[in-house]
Amino acid sequence: MENRKSFAAFSDAARYLPGGVNSPVRAFGGVDRDPLFIAGAKGSRIFDLDGHEYIDYVGSWGPMILGHAHPAVVAAIHKAADKGASFGAPTLAETELAARIVGAFGSIEKLRLLSSGTEAVMTAIRLARAYTGRDKIVKMAGCYHGHSDSLLVAAGSGLAEQGTAASPGVPEALANLTVVIPYNDIGAVAQAFERHPGRIAAVLVEPVAANMGVVAPEPGYLESLRQLCTDNGTVLIFDEVITGFRVAFGGAQERYGVTADLTCLGKIVGGGLPLAVCGGRAEIMDLLAPLGRVYQAGTLSGNPIATAAAIATLDILAEDRVYRELESAAANLEAGLAQAAAEAGVPLTINRVGSILSCFFTNRPVRNFDDVRATDVAAFKRFFSHMLDRGIYLAPSAYEAMFLSSAHTKQDIDRTVEAARASFQAVATR
């Protein structure tokens, strides 16, 4: 499959943009190919500059749960845009959207609308530190929470010890305030509290890890996190930027029955436009200015076009059938991929929660970041290329998820499985 126009566009972009992209994973560096440049999308399909059509399982990295260019969402965007793109002043739509979110998440009493998941998590951490009067944060290795300084941190030299900066430009003094421990290891969390008594402001976690590929919480893990935070007076922050309105209407908190003190939402909550949420218990949220002294502000927060897209999206997702149909489609895809890999003799572990799933090239369970890093990434790269050449657009990284939308049909699933069958065979015979 030739991609001459995309290649030329990438070369041109590299003259003006670092690496030719505005977000690193878009450069396809994780799959040893040049990136596709996208001309448009509709439903479950995405189209590149060279006119090729693909079944899309990236979905803008999760937001497009209704598929691309859903008519109701597009209509809402057009109607809002006709009235003006931004006001920098309150609108009724902000309150309307907030009421819908509070109704969906029982743990959210008040919220602040923001523009990105990174901003939401940054705000949650600032609130947790102000509320507790403490400075340390616990996060899990492999969970990504945006690119703010406190969170671009790698695991330190010992279990439950302070982290080290994972990016140039992050001061070690700031990285030292973050403790990095394995996901799904409740003993490591307990040890962190023992080693840093009275200093942990927040435990920050993706309730379903989805930035190292999909890794589900083991039974009792989230419940134990909740109890440890309660016992130690620590704020539990759920980063539901991916899982919010994805694994259930009320996110992972609805699916697993565990509530957080603060919740971060993004992606789906904006209906495909830049919008995010930091919300939670009123006594914590009321620390934000103008009521409290914790400062946060944003010129485009609650943008009228984004709130219109969000309301239109959430109104459709509020229909129970959407999640039943997504669950069924994802289960069929999982079963088909597993069978195709088995037929080819390719070791494969599929982790799925609702309509997100990951294919790990290993015959072992994958429950944390060390397990993910032990998988056969080279096999994934070959699989990715074969699937792309057969018209299936997967995330260009072994550490990402596949996202289904309500626009994916049975025919899409069947075609994907057939492409996977041939691709697994190609991987096996190399």
Pairing relationship of beta strands 53-56 and 392-393 according to DSSP bridges: parallel
pLDDT of residue 422: 97
pLDDT of residue 45: 98
Question: For residues 131 and 330, what is the distance between their CA atoms, to the nearest angstrom?
Answer: 40
Question: For residues 175 and 164, what is the distance between their CA atoms, to the nearest angstrom?
Answer: 5
- 134-167: buried (b, 16+ CB within 10 Å) or exposed (e) per residue? bebbbbbbbbbbbbbbbbbbebbeebbbbbbbee
Nearest to 67 by CA among 415, 316, 406: 406
Which residues make up the CATH 3.90.1150.10 domain(s) of the chain?
A: 4-69+320-429
Active-site residue, 185 included: no
Question: For residues 170 and 148, what is the distance between their CA atoms, to the nearest angstrom?
Answer: 9
Taking each helix axis from N to C terminus, what angle separates 320-344 and 410-429, rounded to the nearest 10 degrees?
20
Active-site residue, 239 included: yes
Residue pair 143/183 in contact by the 8 Å Cβ criterion: yes
Residue pair 270/276 in contact by the 8 Å Cβ criterion: yes
CATH number of 4-69+320-429: 3.90.1150.10
Residue 171 CB-density burial (10 A; 0-12 exposed, 13-18 middle, 19+ buried): exposed
Nearest to 236 by CA among 154, 143, 132, 150: 132
Active-site choice (54, 144, 393, 399): 144
Active-site residue, 139 included: no
- Model's pTM, two decimal places? 0.96
Which residues make up the CATH 3.40.640.10 domain(s) of the chain?
A: 71-317
- The parts of the chain modelled with pLDDT lower than 50 are 157-160
Active-site choice (56, 136, 261, 267): 267
- What six digits make up the tokens of 95? 């309150």
CA 362 to chain CA centroid, Å, is 23
Per-residue DSSP letters for 364-401? Answer: S---SHHHHHTS-HHHHHHHHHHHHHTTEE--SSTTS-
Nearest to 390 by CA among 41, 43, 55, 37: 55
pLDDT digits (tens, 9 = 90+) for 96-118: 999 999 999 999 999 999 999 99
Active-site choice (185, 239, 261, 371): 239
Q: What is the three-class DSSP state of 316?
A: helix
User: Domain 71-317's class?
Assistant: alpha beta
pLDDT of residue 162: 61
Mean pLDDT of the chain: 95
